[in-house]
Amino acid sequence: MFRKILIANRGEIALRIIRSCREMGVLTVAVCSEADQDSLHLSLAHERVGIGPPPSQKSYLNLENILKAAKETGADAIHPGYGYLAERADFAARCEAEGLAFIGPTPGNLKLAGDKLAAKTTAVSAGVPVIPSSPGPVATVQDAVAMCGEMGYPVMIKSAAGGGGRGIRMCEDEATLLEEFPIARMESGASFGRDALYIEKFIPQPRHIEFQVLSDTQGHVTHLGERECTIQRRFQKLIEESPSPLVTPQLRREMGDAAVAVAEAAHYVNAGTVEFLVDPDGHYYFMEINARIQVEHPVTELTTGIDLVKEQIRLASGEPLGYGFDDLHLRGWAMECRINAEDPDRNFAPCPGTVARYRPPGGFGVRLDTHLYQGYELPIFYDSLLAKLVAYDLTREGAVEIMKRALREFIIEPIKTTIPLYLRVMEDPRFLQGDFHTGFIQDFVPEEADADEA
């Protein structure tokens, strides 16, 4: 087991990891940029190290400064959290080279998961259905037009290096494709430093369902059930739950086996997520592997009783997994709302400021993962996730009632947040029946002009 872990992240996930380390008797090193000197994660860690100026590129993405901090504090492992360096194969490889354990997948796993086309090929080799798409990168707009003529519209243009919903463009017809393809190529080059695009058939009104997997270094793999992540806005998840109202025991068995098959084919190690789309006829398709601990991991923790961060640390230290899906006792229903500093009435515009009045929710069935406190000034440099509010009860109906009660208790003034939106969703008959698709949230927030047009 590790003696000291450096947490290369900030915000709620840094707190989350520090807490598990403390329970395991492992020492912790927190890192911070100059904009995060008053951040809560620093006060819970055993040690803190400054890693640079406020912009992420100069601090939380500054691989050299982070490795130096680990060396100076004598850490023997690094937990990257999510985002930032979590899925950077070069960072995982550097950790290895410097004699530090990277708490996550292998550099090879990260490389594969980061190449969306290669990941799809792996899924196909494991006998798992994938969304029909171009067999490889599409170089020219002429090739794209020919490809889509065969495949049929609508289609999605995606970046092979993309992920997290970034760089995706939908094309209803050939005219839109002709217009969007060159833009997508530019954007992809700008965001991901490479411009390999591929084209995928658009699945109308899908659900987004993903499976948590865990694998040890000896090749044992299990899944831990699914998470329903269909409630999204522009491919960014807002509400997640486990189990999914759609998934029957039979479908869970099939999709769970498929997720494990993908992880095995990828020789995957540590915690990961296999994402699927499910069409209205109940057919599922592999989408991608998320090679990290995910934001929405708490809903799986509540229904399985397993601390996924502890499992990541345990597996990274070389311990065997020791159980399979049939050994788990899945119980109850967990639902998470991502509380973002965004104004749902103003096209989700970000809302920085100082938390003048703070009242966190609590009580039976409530878990709150947050770095907020009264008087905290939200830095402008980082993303808008403030808190993850998770409700847990024996039934979905019970979890919804707890969520509504907790959302009403939660005060973060004067910051505009997504709380009022979630209160409306919790009253919606389709949501309550579990009958929704990825376009659901559009009915609550009529799309205005792009934020860019403001």
Partner 1 sequence: MSGAQNPSKRVEVRAPMSGVFYRRPGPDQETYVEVGDPVRKKQVLALLETMKVFQSVKSPVAGKIMEIAAQNEAALKDNDLMFVIEKA
Distance of CA 259 to the CA centre of its chain: 17
Question: Based on CB atoms, which residue is closest to partner 1, 132 or 164?
Answer: 164
185 flagged as catalytic: no
The closest alpha carbon to 7, from 54, 55, 40, belongs to 40
The verdict on 60 binding partner 1 (CB under 8 A) reads: no
What's the CA gap between 187 and 191, in Å, rounded? 6
189 counts as binding partner 1 under rule CB under 8 A: no
The 18-57 site mask, x for binding partner 1 (CB under 8 A), equals ------------------------------------xx--
| Contact with partner 1 (CB under 8 A) among 315, 341, 389, 390 | 341
Closest distance between partner 1 and the C-beta of residue 144, in Å?
A: 25
Q: How far apart are CA 329 and CA 66, in angstroms?
A: 39
Q: Is 345 in the site for partner 1 (CB under 8 A)?
A: no
For CA atoms 321, 327, 329, 330, the dihedral sign is: positive
Q: Using the rule CB under 8 A, is 139 a contact of partner 1? A: no
Q: Residues 310, 315, 318, CA angle at the centre, nearest 5°?
A: 135
Spatial distance between the Cα atoms of 131 and 342, rounded to a whole number of angstroms: 32
Among 172, 179, 383, 397, binds partner 1 (CB under 8 A): 383
**Which part of the chain contacts partner 1 (CB under 8 A), choosing from 120-128, 288-296, 387-395, 446-454?**
446-454
Under rule CB under 8 A, residue 350 binds partner 1 = yes
How far apart are the C-alpha atoms of 133 and 148, rounded to whole Å?
9
Q: Which of 349, 368, 411, 432 binds partner 1 (CB under 8 A)?
A: 349
| Least Å from the CB of residue 368 to partner 1 | 21
**Which lies closer to partner 1 via its Cβ, residue 91 or residue 382?**
382
Could you say which of 60, 285, 381, 440 contacts partner 1 (CB under 8 A)? 381
Which residue among the candidates 252, 292, 367, 396 is catalytic per the annotation?
292
Place of tokens 């808190």: 387
Quick one: 324 or 414, whose CB is closer to partner 1? 414
Under the binding rule (CB under 8 A), the answer on residue 303 touching partner 1 is no
Closest distance of CB 353 from partner 1, Å: 8
Between vectors from CA 196 to CA 132 and to CA 237, what angle results, nearest 5°?
Answer: 65
SS3 annotation, 10-25:
CHHHHHHHHHHHHHHC
Minimum CB separation of residue 223 from partner 1 in Å reads 31
E strands in 182-283: 197-201, 207-215, 221-233, 236-242, 270-278
Tokens of 329: 């006792």
Contacts (Cβ under 8 Å, ≥6 apart) of 125: 265
- Distance separating alpha carbons of residues 284 and 279, to the nearest angstrom: 6
Comparing C-alpha atoms, which of 440, 433, 439, 435 is closest to residue 203? 439
Q: Which of 1, 186, 394, 451 binds partner 1 (CB under 8 A)?
A: 451
* 80 vs 103: CA distance, rounded Å: 7
- Provide the mask over 351-380, with x wherever binding to partner 1 is found by CB under 8 A and - wherever it is not: xxx------------------------x-x
Shortest reach from residue 352's CB to partner 1, in Å = 5
Rounded to an integer, what distance in angstroms lies between the CA atom of residue 209 and that of residue 38? 37
Considering only residues 394-413, where is the footprint of partner 1 by CB under 8 A? Answer: none
Q: Which is nearer to partner 1, 327 or 450 (CB)?
A: 450
Amino acid found at 219:
G
What minimum distance in Å lies between the beta carbon of 164 and partner 1?
A: 12
| Token pair in block for residue 152 | 């049929």
Beta carbon of residue 384, minimum distance to partner 1 (angstroms, whole number) = 4
Establish if 382 lies at the interface with partner 1 (CB under 8 A): yes
Looking at the DSSP assignment, which residues form a beta bridge with residue 345?
Answer: none
> Would you please indicate which residues are annotated as catalytic (active-site) residues?
292
Which residues are at the interface with partner 1 (CB under 8 A)?
A: 54-55, 190, 341, 349-353, 378, 380-384, 451-452, 454
